[in-house]
């Protein structure tokens, strides 16, 4: 078939992979109890197993960045989607903690390119002035995956078990592959000179350590960790174990969190273009979310409506993190966009992996509340470091 004109349809097709990624990595939040029971895991053990996803994801950002710039978005996206679909099937078939650990590693490899694919396509296909808006749209559409892993997957897990949840996400990966194959037809970019893969990989690392990206790397370290920590793991146990909600009731609350995460990024991209104060927006959002987490903990004895409101506010405010991608795009030429965006994603998911482990230790020491508090501390520390580094550059 002839190539589809204009960037919108290919970008949205690629974003289906990000929908899958968000659904599959947040599924454990509403299946934590049955996953622990069936796989023989403690709370910190489950945190370690699911943390392997984020760690592998972060480690794979270097080859993903190289692949996007060297081989093109289409080839890279189809490859990672196939790997991710296989990971979802492995998770559905896991019978031991080791089997689920392996599945999470495969999922981390596959999902590592799900956000960077549409972001890189947009960085090359839309005017720089509109990239911040498009990055918000990509995150808005992609975050609908968290809506799927809220009430719908909570019902599916209750009715048919957690394995059915992973099988459903495998079907979503197959749908995304078909959409990409039919709509994304950009050829791979021309290779400049005879650069080796090792040289390309080294450039991703060099970009990540460069002075222009260093403050954003520190900021990102705590940012996605909050989303994955609350929506991907500890939100469910907090609502079910501490607040006494059923799985479906907890799913409704977390769906509000996901709805805020779905709507807010596009608004944040628009607001950044109108306000023009990205550093202030980023820092204020992190400090505010730290305060909201502490408010959530302080309201342990309050009605569920308090938790629902706090989760929704956290989802809306943390979405300012989408402004980071516009800042990265503005700092590099289009031909290096894949490597630069992948570099900052190392911090997003590397931080998520570290905080998954830290929060697991905190939960083992003092319960779910301590796990949530660890994210507030990380936000305050990383945001203060971000502002300090900005002053030095």
Per-domain boundaries in the chain:
8-183+198-392
Q: What pLDDT, in 10s, does the model give residues 74-95?
A: 999 999 999 999 999 999 999 9
Average pLDDT over every residue of 190-215: 70
**H-state helical runs in the chain:** 8-26, 32-39, 43-59, 61-70, 73-93, 97-111, 116-125, 128-142, 144-148, 151-160, 162-183, 197-209, 214-229, 235-237, 247-275, 278-298, 304-318, 323-331, 337-366, 368-392
Q: What is the pLDDT of residue 186?
A: 65
Q: What is the pLDDT of residue 171?
A: 94
Question: 3-state class of 313 per DSSP?
Answer: helix
pLDDT classification of 20: cutoffs 50, 70, 90: very high
pTM across the whole model: 0.75
Tell me, rounded to whole angstroms, the distance of Cα 80 from its chain centroid: 15
Judge whether residue 4 has pLDDT over 60.
Answer: no
Q: What is the pLDDT of residue 27?
A: 83
pLDDT classification of 2: cutoffs 50, 70, 90: very low
Q: What pLDDT, in 10s, does the model give residues 319-362?
A: 998 888 878 877 777 667 667 777 888 888 888 888 988 998 99
* Average pLDDT for the chain: 86
pLDDT classification of 3: cutoffs 50, 70, 90: very low
Q: Domain 8-183+198-392 carries which CATH code?
A: 1.20.1250.20
pLDDT classification of 48: cutoffs 50, 70, 90: confident
């Amino acid at each position: 078939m002839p190539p589809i004109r204009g960037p919108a349809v290919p970008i949205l097709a690629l974003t289906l992979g990000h929908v899958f990624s968000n659904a599959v990595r947040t599924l454990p939040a509403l299946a934590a109890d049955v996953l622990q029971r069936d796989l023989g895991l403690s709370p910190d053990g489950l945190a370690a197993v699911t943390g392997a996803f984020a760690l592998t994801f972060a480690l794979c950002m270097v080859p993903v960045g190289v692949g996007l710039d060297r081989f093109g978005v289409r080839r890279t996206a189809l490859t990672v989607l196939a790997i991710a679909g296989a990971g979802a099937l492995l998770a559905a078939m896991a019978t031991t903690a080791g089997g689920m650990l392996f599945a999470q590693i495969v999922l981390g490899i596959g999902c590592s390119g799900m956000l960077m694919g549409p972001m890189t396509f947009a960085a090359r296909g839309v005017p720089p002035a509109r990239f911040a808006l498009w990055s918000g749209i990509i995150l808005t559409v992609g975050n609908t995956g968290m809506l799927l892993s809220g009430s719908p997957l909570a019902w599916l897990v209750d009715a048919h078990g957690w394995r059915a949840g992973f099988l459903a996400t495998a079907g979503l990966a197959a749908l995304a592959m078909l959409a990409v194959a039919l709509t994304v037809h950009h050829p791979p970019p021309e290779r400049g000179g005879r650069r080796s893969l090792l040289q390309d990989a080294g450039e991703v690392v060099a970009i990540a350590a460069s002075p222009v990206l260093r403050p954003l790397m520190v900021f990102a370290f705590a940012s996605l960790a909050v989303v994955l920590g609350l929506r991907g793991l500890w939100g469910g146990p907090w609502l079910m174990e501490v607040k006494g909600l059923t799985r479906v009731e907890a799913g409704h609350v977390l769906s509000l969190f996901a709805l805020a995460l779905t709507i807010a990024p596009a608004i944040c991209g628009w607001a950044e273009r109108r306000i023009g104060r990205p550093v202030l927006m980023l820092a204020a959002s992190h400090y505010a979310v730290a305060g909201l987490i502490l408010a959530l903990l302080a309201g342990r004895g309050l009605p569920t409506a308090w938790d629902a409101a706090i989760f929704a506010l956290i989802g809306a405010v943390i979405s300012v993190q989408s402004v980071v991608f516009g800042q990265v795009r503005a700092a590099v030429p289009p031909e290096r966009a894949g490597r630069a965006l992948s570099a900052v994603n190392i911090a997003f998911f590397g931080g998520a992996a570290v905080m998954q482990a830290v929060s697991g230790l905190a939960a083992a020491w003092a319960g779910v509340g301590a796990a949530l508090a660890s994210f507030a501390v990380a936000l305050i520390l990383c945001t203060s470091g971000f502002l300090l580094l900005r002053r030095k550059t």
